[in-house]
Structure 1
Amino acid sequence: MSTSASAGSSPALEAHNKLIDWVRSHGGSISDSVQVSQDSTRGVHLQVKADWPDSIPKETRVISTPVGITLSYFNAIDHHHHQSSSNGVSFPSHGVVFPRAFIDAVGPEETMTFFLMGQFLCGESSFWFPYLRTLPQPGQLTTPLFFGEEDVDWIQGTGIPDASVQRFRLWEGRFDESIAKLEEVEFENVDSYTWELYLWASTIISSRAFSSKVLAGAVPDEDLSDGDGVSVLLPLVDLPNHRPLAKVEWRAGEEDVGLLVLEEIAPGQEISNNYGPRNNEQLLMNYGFCLANNPTDYRIVKLGVLANSPLMEAKDRQRQLYPELATPNEDTYYIFSILYPLLARDTPMEHTIVSPALFNALTVMEGNQRERDMIEITESGIRIPPAYGTGHSTLAALSQISFELIAHIALLKDSAEGLPAQPANLNQMHTHIYRNGQIALDQAALIITSWSLTRAREQQRGETGDDIKTLLNDHMARIPADLLSEEILSRIRVRILERESVVPKNGILFRLTELFTLLPTEMQGPSQKHFNHVFDRAAQVIPVVRSVPNLLFGTLLCLLAATYRSQAPLPARLTRWLEFLFEAYPPPSVAGSSLAVDNEIDTLLAAFDEFVTVEDATRWAADDGVTWLVNDSGWLDMNWLRWAWGVVEAETVLVPPEPLQILGGGPVQMLRQACLYVP
């Protein structure tokens, strides 16, 4: 037994011991401070020996793999160094040779896949047999393409089925084309290159291969550029398991590729690799495992943008302005885990959960025409810049993402109905981790977005530190006990309290009755009495009026506008807002002004006009104590009502009234409550 191995033995450990001996026989090495071990949770892995006297320091080279035993496209083409090169590394094909016509036709990626298949078919006679026998064998892989029928039930409702179908079709097409080319060139033993073996080889490469950069020290630049897209298998270097944020480096040399640890690791501790900031969906699709509480977890959101939408028009304009950005690929939009560590210090709170590209896209999609006229298109992105009045698009984006989160949580929970209480195998266990991680990610994101909406709707509390903490305590108290870990809840609190928000102030979303508070105190009671008086009378003739938010909000806006036009003294906030609306939406007294309203509102408007005259409105107002209105103020005038209802249609935000209700496991209700945005 090799001195590199841990106590005890198994077929897997024996195979890895022989791999170590093989690597050493070709000039490679493994540090005396480490050993290969195996247990039920981590499988075969690398760790610092438990009896090693000290932690291994930074810059320790734990593994060196000779360039001559790497496996890549360069071996498939039997690549030899140029005579002028300073190094003398060659990449023999070791007995598996494909016709050049096949290689040129299918390209480096497929050539590598078929070369790996060919070496596997060589069995013990393969040069790489000591390495190949340590890999998961056909039938042992755990990515979703190899799931059994009962395992597939566990991924329903997630993004895995679509991703699996897409990958299956891509690989199937490539396999068919490659086999057809092999048959065309009359390659011997083509029948041995089966679809099942192709799936195995493709999965091994996608899960274990490194980029050609690891050969940069051994392959001249001009040769390396010939192999763009080349994947390289590194025997032994690919042994360590993945740990997010592990500090390691793969160092390319002229004669070997070294794995160096860039942090101290104590005796008995595992030595991990770092595949990069992979989310659980990538880990499951490419590697067949997931990580509970994966700090680099996120999920992709698909917007389904229509070709003639404002967002797509803005994207087309961006490509015209910056032709080098032209690409057939749609932007990728993310929702991040609250644990995600790779965040800029000055990133707004909401953008740490909803990627800036997604947030900005939603503001364009959900903003009104007034805001979209302000779109800022640069090489780096498309957005509605912050300014007085653009908070409507911000709040509408927050609402829309909240609805999406609620719907996705419900989908994940509903699709899990009928599954066994506990996973029955490793595939199901990792899928269970993935599904629960997606739900927890969504739940934390919903707590953040709904907090921002809660602040926007808060009309009572101020914005001192104590006010915010009290409001936050009330918000967090609505989260069911034991739903999320203390670590997650603490991260949410810190994120809310320490980061700037895209919602600049409390109290910028108003329910109907809250709008009266914008008036001076002495005007509030009479105005509300008069408003109710009008609608009580209207409901007797047109019963539906009380159930149409635009009618209610629009009529109240008409009253506020009439109060302003009557030159009644108004608070600065209300005055500024009304003057802003008059400029953005020219009122009926301005020549050429018009605001479109939908047919239903137009019909109700006509009925409303028949129900009340200006004389009635003036008389009722005086009776209710609204004595400040003048005859030409426009109160309940047909044209001013049309203007007000059109403004309301553009400036209303539909928010989820109880967004955190989904956290309690109750029935999902996608209700939308109309609120008017007042900056």
Structure 2
Amino acid sequence: MVSSADRQGSGHSLEAHTELVNWILSQGGSLNDCVRVAQDASRGVHIQVKADWPHPISPETRVLSAPMGVTMSYFNAIGFQSSQISFSRHGVELPQAFIDSVAVEETTTFFLMGQYLRGAEGFWYPYLRTLPQPGDLTTPLFFGEEDVDWIQGTGIPEASVQRYEIWDERYEQCMSKLEEAGFDGLEDYTWDLYLWASTIISSRAFSPKVLSSVMEASKVGEDTGVSVLLPLIDLPNHRPLAKVEWRAGTSDVGMVVLEEIGPGQEISNNYGPRNNEQLLMNYGFCLPNNPTDYRVIKLGVKPDSHLSRAKSRQIEMFPDMSNNKEDHYYIFSVYYPLLGPNTAMEHSVFSPALFNSLMIMHANDRERKQIEISESSMSIPSAYGNGHSMLAALSQICFELISHIMMLQASAPERQRQPENLKQTFAQIYRDSLLTLDKAALIVATWTLKRAREHQKGETWEDVKTMLNEHLAQVSEGHFSPETLSRVRVRILERESLLKRNGELFRLGELFSLLPVDMQAPGRDWFNNILAQASQSVPALQTSPQALFSIVVALLVATGRSQQARPHLPARLTQWVDFLVEQYPVSEVIVEESELLSQLNNFADTDNAYSIASQVGVDWLSDVGEWMNSKWLTWAMNVADSEMVLIPHEPLQILAAENPGLPKLGCLYVPQI
């Protein structure tokens, strides 16, 4: 179960595989008449439907089989026998004390090492000689110093070190146990051979369920640690989404195709929805344009964080959740096919678990009070006002994507440098796939933020297409193939967004558009005058988005509370004002001691704000009373702090400029009705 290119080294000849087929047939296996073993430069040794076969093979065709007697597993190492089956050791006798003291996986690994050392005398020699030999493997544990340069900045080096340390510790323990048992020939069981055998098992072994027809269920469960090597059945190359099944009988294990395959076409295996990191780590190859590619995200959640507390609450409610150690935090390729038909557009690229967790992490206090916890998920429900956490989560995703893209670009080998071997070639494919995945995901995330910032265009199908064309026009040529860019477009248009309406994020000057047209100019004039005068006594005001937003919020909320003005206000503004006053009770305001707020309060406590209002035509607040005093200004500062979202400024510049940085833009969240 390795890539075609991995089969092109020594020992992977068509002749050797033909001898393997003959051996399998002599042991009672089969190869369908419609199938042949072939070899070419692009796919290496593989199996295909014969080119001169008169018709496509139909689903449910059994293309090949391996008899139970040629399988290799832990049961061979222990010489298991029952009334149904007998698994022979075939000349490798591991000490019983060793078998009793180490894990099932290690017994199998050392048994494979022993069979390899038997060479041509071994029962499995026709099979083992077709496998990648110790010098042929291309997984990262076999990378040289120059090869490692190609995976810097990715998650592979860390994963490789972790695996190396685990395997090294296990090897030393096993060697110690064999030495205690006085095992002959111990010096031949080298670290290099152990590394090879462990890699072969991790990359080629099948689930123990393939033995389920001849073994008790308790012996072949997924948690038993049993892995099974299936000669010949592991020959077909991997193709994502290939429809194939392995069916266990009482005498053999067969490979059955579940789709029509035409004459001359390759018959592929399917390892499952593996991403390129898994393929490289476990199998030593990658796939360009892998449709099932995704990137695992680590959030680095602190123990005292809101998300950690929500998780603790979930475990209290559902104790069995304590056994679930895996967080499903993924960023998917835009080609990823395994999605439910009603999956939201954002969730089709950013897994629901990741997205919901980020919403909880970046929600404000009022949103966190509404967290819904079930056995399968934790989320902030969709409701009026809760779009803040969704947009904040998207912003954080954008920052992470931009940082990761910049890191990948900075750590890449020099552009003129070309791969010099198969390991470097696969590493480059892996790195390029990460960049493509991140850049496509960035387009999707920024699309939703673009809509949230759009206050002019409507929401008709034509409006959406116009906005999307403008959005994609920012992507310069060379970042994506036409197929990938088309897929990004389809992913955006084919699925409903979590953002139901445009225009929920406002820059400072845009907030005045919430007022009726005749109030907008006086409102802006009032703010500009306030800003000009306050800047002299409050110099830090210009650098504090929170303080600037609070001044405008104070005006808008006062307007919404005015009985004189209220009948003339848009429903969106009055509903928002009522919502803020309800969610942030003025009675609970405590005036803070910060220097900025103190200076601003001192300025506001004078008559400046009110006299300027009368001068510029803000004459609709006469019935409100004080609305720029210390209490209301402190209240507005709290609101601005909670309802503000920091989004990336010009985020697609990462696709057009070198080292664009991460400038942030403060926006205030104002929900649509």
State the number of aligned residues: 659
Separation in 2 of the partners of 1:489 and 1:154?
A: 26
Residue 257 (structure 1) aligned to one of 253, 260, 265? 253
Tell me the equivalent position of 2:570.
571
Conserved 8 A contact 2:207-2:222: no
User: Would the alpha carbon gap of residues 184 and 534 (structure 1) be closer, same or farther in structure 2, given more than 3 Å must change?
Assistant: same
C-alpha displacement of 1:92: 0.8
Tell me the equivalent position of 2:514.
518
Separation in 1 of the partners of 2:270 and 2:358?
A: 33
Conserved 8 A contact 2:604-2:629: no
Q: What amino acid is aligned across from residue 574 of structure 1 in structure 2?
A: L
Conserved 8 A contact 2:507-2:666: yes
Tell me the equivalent position of 1:628.
620
Conserved 8 A contact 2:334-2:488: yes
Tell me the equivalent position of 1:670.
662
Separation in 2 of the partners of 1:24 and 1:120?
A: 22
C-alpha displacement of 1:170: 1.0
C-alpha displacement of 1:353: 0.3
Secondary structure, in 3 states, of the residue corresponding to 1:448? helix
Conserved 8 A contact 1:618-1:631: no
Separation in 1 of the partners of 2:554 and 2:360?
A: 28
User: What pairs with 1:601-616 in structure 2 (closer than 5 Å)?
Assistant: 602-616=594-608
User: Would the alpha carbon gap of residues 595 and 571 (structure 1) be closer, same or farther in structure 2, given more than 3 Å must change?
Assistant: farther
Secondary structure, in 3 states, of the residue corresponding to 1:79? coil
User: Are 2:306 and 1:279 equivalent residues in the alignment?
Assistant: no
User: What pairs with 1:438-517 in structure 2 (closer than 5 Å)?
Assistant: 438-517=434-513
Tell me the equivalent position of 2:226.
230
User: What pairs with 1:51-450 in structure 2 (closer than 5 Å)?
Assistant: 51-81=52-82, 83=83, 88-225=84-221, 228-327=224-323, 329-418=325-414, 420-450=416-446
Tell me the equivalent position of 1:18.
19
Q: What amino acid is aligned across from residue 583 of structure 2 in structure 1?
A: A
Secondary structure, in 3 states, of the residue corresponding to 1:271? coil
Tell me the equivalent position of 1:646.
638
Conserved 8 A contact 1:614-1:635: no
Tell me the equivalent position of 2:582.
583
C-alpha displacement of 1:62: 1.2
User: Would the alpha carbon gap of residues 278 and 531 (structure 1) be closer, same or farther in structure 2, given more than 3 Å must change?
Assistant: same
Which range moves more in the overlay, 465-474 or 447-456? 465-474
Separation in 2 of the partners of 1:670 and 1:645?
A: 25
Q: What amino acid is aligned across from residue 67 of structure 1 in structure 2?
A: M
Separation in 2 of the partners of 1:127 and 1:341?
A: 42
Separation in 1 of the partners of 2:591 and 2:488?
A: 43
Tell me the equivalent position of 1:618.
610
Separation in 1 of the partners of 2:12 and 2:429?
A: 29
Conserved 8 A contact 1:558-1:634: no
Separation in 1 of the partners of 2:181 and 2:147?
A: 40
Which range moves more in the overlay, 354-363 or 474-483? 474-483
Q: Deviations over 1:12-70 (max 9, x none)?
A: 21211111111111111111222111222211111112222222222221111000110
Separation in 1 of the partners of 2:101 and 2:92?
A: 18
User: Would the alpha carbon gap of residues 367 and 10 (structure 1) be closer, same or farther in structure 2, given more than 3 Å must change?
Assistant: closer
User: Would the alpha carbon gap of residues 487 and 596 (structure 1) be closer, same or farther in structure 2, given more than 3 Å must change?
Assistant: farther
Separation in 2 of the partners of 1:612 and 1:319?
A: 49
Separation in 1 of the partners of 2:150 and 2:53?
A: 43
Conserved 8 A contact 2:332-2:350: yes
Secondary structure, in 3 states, of the residue corresponding to 2:639? helix
Conserved 8 A contact 1:55-1:266: yes
Q: What amino acid is aligned across from residue 298 of structure 1 in structure 2?
A: Y
C-alpha displacement of 1:614: 4.4
Separation in 2 of the partners of 1:654 and 1:638?
A: 26
C-alpha displacement of 1:10: 8.7
C-alpha displacement of 1:594: 2.3
C-alpha displacement of 1:612: 4.3
Conserved 8 A contact 1:76-1:98: yes
Separation in 2 of the partners of 1:615 and 1:595?
A: 22
Tell me the equivalent position of 1:46.
47
Which range moves more in the overlay, 23-32 or 389-398? 23-32
Separation in 2 of the partners of 1:565 and 1:226?
A: 64
Q: What amino acid is aligned across from residue 61 of structure 1 in structure 2?
A: R
Secondary structure, in 3 states, of the residue corresponding to 2:228? strand
User: Would the alpha carbon gap of residues 619 and 226 (structure 1) be closer, same or farther in structure 2, given more than 3 Å must change?
Assistant: closer
Conserved 8 A contact 2:248-2:254: yes
Secondary structure, in 3 states, of the residue corresponding to 1:154? helix
Conserved 8 A contact 2:475-2:656: yes
Q: What amino acid is aligned across from residue 122 of structure 1 in structure 2?
A: R
Conserved 8 A contact 1:117-1:198: yes
Secondary structure, in 3 states, of the residue corresponding to 2:646? strand
Q: What amino acid is aligned across from residue 392 of structure 2 in structure 1?
A: A
C-alpha displacement of 1:667: 2.6
Separation in 1 of the partners of 2:60 and 2:533?
A: 82
Q: Deviations over 1:420-451 (max 9, x none)?
A: 43211111111111111110011111110000
Q: Deviations over 1:206-264 (max 9, x none)?
A: 11000101111122334435981210000000000000011111111000000111112
Conserved 8 A contact 2:209-2:221: no
Q: What amino acid is aligned across from residue 594 of structure 1 in structure 2?
A: V
Separation in 2 of the partners of 1:380 and 1:660?
A: 35
Separation in 1 of the partners of 2:318 and 2:232?
A: 45
Identity of aligned residues (%): 58
CA RMSD of aligned residues (A): 1.6
Conserved 8 A contact 2:601-2:633: no
Which range moves more in the overlay, 638-647 or 180-189? 180-189
Conserved 8 A contact 1:108-1:227: no
Tell me the equivalent position of 1:594.
589
Tell me the equivalent position of 1:4.
none
Separation in 2 of the partners of 1:456 and 1:596?
A: 32
TM-score, with structure 2 as normaliser: 0.96
C-alpha displacement of 1:283: 0.5
Tell me the equivalent position of 2:28.
27
User: Would the alpha carbon gap of residues 603 and 631 (structure 1) be closer, same or farther in structure 2, given more than 3 Å must change?
Assistant: farther
Tell me the equivalent position of 2:6.
none
Separation in 2 of the partners of 1:455 and 1:32?
A: 58
Which range moves more in the overlay, 484-493 or 571-580? 484-493
Conserved 8 A contact 1:563-1:633: no
Q: Deviations over 1:589-639 (max 9, x none)?
A: x2xx02586x6xx21121123334343322211011111122753332111
TM-score, with structure 1 as normaliser: 0.95
User: Would the alpha carbon gap of residues 419 and 474 (structure 1) be closer, same or farther in structure 2, given more than 3 Å must change?
Assistant: closer
Conserved 8 A contact 1:154-1:419: no
